[in-house]
Chains A and B, each alone.
Chain A
Amino acid sequence: MALELKNVSKRVGAATHIHETSLVLEPGTFNVLLGTRLAGRKTLMQLMAGLERPTSGEIWFAGHNVTGVAVQKRNVSMVYQQFINYANFTVYDNIASPLRVAGISAREIDSRVNEAAELLRLSPMLKRRPSELSGGQQQRTAIARAIVKDSDIILLDEPLANLDYKLREELRDELPKLFAGRDCIVVYATTEPSEALLFGGKTATLFEGRVTQFGPTSEIYRHPNTLTSARVFSDPPINVAEVRKVNGDIILGDKVKWKVGRAAQALADGAYTIAIRPHHIIPTNGSQEKATIEGRVLVAELSGSESVIHFDMNGQTWVSQSHGIHPFEVGSTAKLHVDVDRSYFFDANGALVGGAG
């Protein structure tokens, strides 16, 4: 019961929203679409749901070509960022509505609504109307409605974006548990790399209407295939600079130099682009940190659990993210240590050529 996108593209007038894309989503998987709001996530979801028809290519489900089959005829559920519930229905009736449309018996409806409500901790609120619920409870109602009808495909478009931070944390923990053991395909769109990481499952990185990489989430995070994928999957933004490899050394700017490590061992001498994650540039010098850099501190954000230092080096803004409390005066010179073996090297086309992940 896999969902297959075969060379699917979507153009609207002169604008290409989705470039030719092929993807296979397996049943029983949790798939994250990660990218900015304009990367094409919404269009891709609408194509998967059958809300939009592709300009070219085909969409197959369970071995059948479903291109052009209307959304009503597909067994699909969607949850949007804005909670959508029937205002004059109780929570119970809201959750039951897709089952009533499907003509399921009252007894069966009752047991399934109660089960979904139990999972989403809505049981005490079944008799209330949406206006009497908190934002989190309203969104949980919308999610309960999406999972109650045993859909083949469940599409969640930034469902937690409008919720309080702590509530988001709670639901982020609960969501994958809801789908564990089911054979539906879950697709979850987000702008937040940290959210993709915590869900695990699989991730597709999206940039300007293209899926740049797709696979198991921590693999995509640790082994980005291109500079674009690395940029999409980094929070805070990944540090990028031009370097040269000369006689076993890596040279960055006119002052920073280190002995080539495992990340760039196999590379020929020449020019490369290096990408270094903020948490691999830290104020303390350990056995992993083989290069030292210096920069002028622009901002120091100390949250107690971590220190984020924004600094200027060679006219470019860099970010360091470290555990614990590391105060720096704004305007002072910060000396920071880089775990160069965990950096990535890209060629002139932005393709990964070295990096230990």
Chain B
Amino acid sequence: MARISIENLRQSYYPNPQRDEDWALKRLSLDLADGGAFALLGPSGCGKTTLLNLISGLLKPTEGRILFNDHDVTEATPEQRNIAQVFQFPVIYDTMTVYDNLAFPLRNRGVGEKDVDKKVREIAAMLDLDRTLSKRASGLTADGKQKISLGRGLVRSDVNVIMFDEPLTVIDQHLKWVLRSKLKELHHRIRRTMIYVTHDQTEALTFADQVVVMKDGEIVQIGTPIELFERPKHTFVGHFIGSPGMNVLPCQVAGGRVTFAGNVVEAVNTKAYRGNGKKLELGVRPEFVHFAEKGIPVEIVKVADAGRFRIVETRNSEGKINLLVREGRDIPTQNVRVTFDPGHTQIYEDGWMVN
């Protein structure tokens, strides 16, 4: 088990990085507490996989240090770092049985057969592989093979950290739910440091205690799923997390009052604004916009049925406002007006939340 500290890490794939965009990771410091469940979340090209490969030792950083429990491992090989990894596609031995595949990482470390058997059966039961243990891995579906990969990553209890790189990509939707909750259940039980890389917000938010949101080689915000949802520090986080993302609307602030499209709006951080921003925006999630008798006049553009709620796209002179309407509730047809929940409306200054 390990606490992982990352100090002033920079990574470039170019021999002579000059410009800002030459850096895949710009300059990054981060502390990951021992035993935590972390997600690295961001769009493709944000540097999340680079960061994972630096922590695992598959890559050597251009600058900076990585420490496991205050011990410098920057120059150590993946083997020396004592980690387990699960990749996007199954990495297994096709000719071996499921049992032998799961046992491999343990036998490789010289674990006795009695303990091997106990651990293999425990992991197999958790992943519903117990009935296929004696089968050859080659006969399994993509789902089944990826479950073995997960099992191989989870079977050893002496690793410093378990890393997952988009592990559910090849898994069917129905099974994703099951495997995600199994992983979380397992983390709760063994409390080993886990790092999970994904572009899928649902996976990140349901698996992790702490989510690291990345963009263009930098960390934009670190927080619990609830913090990222309720108080996105940057409009990017507001947009990237949540489906649909946060509404970001142009606004003015003057004399301690916020106005949007000529309507006075309340925001949580109005008082903190000191009047120096170039671009001012209002952020409010679709979950916190409601139809009301009095409020901002809008026009309904589109209604999409998502089952447990409907996504209503509305528009006024200043832009598009999405809102969610729960199943069974009505959508007005005439004199349509919306209000924003004052406790969940924030002002952003040049993209960053005013505070």
Contacts and interface: CB of A to CB of B under 8 A. Distances in A.
Interface of A: 36-38, 134-135, 164-167, 169, 191-194, 197-198, 200, 217-218, 221, 235-237, 277, 279, 288, 298-299, 301-305, 308, 310, 319, 321, 323, 325, 330
Given A169-B244, A301-B180, 12 more contacts: A36-B174, A164-B43, A166-B43, A198-B311, A217-B305, A235-B174, A279-B308, A299-B184, A303-B225, A304-B230, A323-B309, A330-B185
B250 to A, nearest CB: 21
Contacts of A308: 206
A191 B225 contact: no
A200 B310 CA distance: 12
Contact of B174 (A134, A166, A237, A323): A237
A219 B24 CA distance: 48
Given A191-B173, A197-B305, A298 B327 contact: no
A301 B226 CA distance: 11
Contacts of A197: 304-307
B177 interface: yes
Nearest to B243: A169
Contacts of A167: 43
Contacts of A221: 305, 307
A192 B247 CA distance: 25
A165 B181 contact: no
A344 to B, nearest CB: 14
B307 A165 contact: no
A134 B304 contact: no
A288 B327 CA distance: 12
A291 B181 CA distance: 26
A308 B308 CA distance: 13
B245 A304 contact: no
Nearest to B143: A37
A200 B185 CA distance: 35
A230 B44 CA distance: 34
Nearest to B44: A164
B44 A165 contact: no
A305 B188 contact: no
B305 A165 contact: no
A209 to B, nearest CB: 15
Contacts of B45: 134
Given A165-B199, A166-B240, A305 B326 contact: no
B287 interface: yes
A310 B182 CA distance: 10
Interface residues of B, number: 46
A298 B182 CA distance: 9
B78 interface: no
Contact of A191 (B141, B172, B239): B172
Contact of A165 (B201, B226, B308): B201
A303 B205 contact: yes
A299 B188 contact: yes
Contact of B306 (A134, A194, A319, A325): A194
Interface string B223-239: 00111111000000001
A319 B177 contact: yes
A305 B327 contact: no
B202 interface: yes
Contact of A299 (B185, B205, B309): B185
A302 B173 contact: no
5 nearest CB pairs, A to B: A304-B229, A303-B205, A301-B206, A279-B308, A299-B181
16 contacts: A134-B45, A165-B200, A165-B202, A165-B243, A192-B173, A197-B305, A299-B185, A299-B188, A301-B184, A301-B205, A302-B225, A303-B205, A305-B285, A305-B287, A308-B206, A330-B188
B45 to A, nearest CB: 7
A236 to B, nearest CB: 5
Given A301-B184, A305-B242, A134 B201 contact: no
Contact of A304 (B177, B200, B225): B225
Q: In the complex, which of the residues B45, B142, B227, B305 has the most CB atoms of chain A within 10 Å of its own CB atom?
A: B305
A36 B201 CA distance: 22
Nearest to A299: B181
A305 B229 contact: yes
A164 B198 CA distance: 9
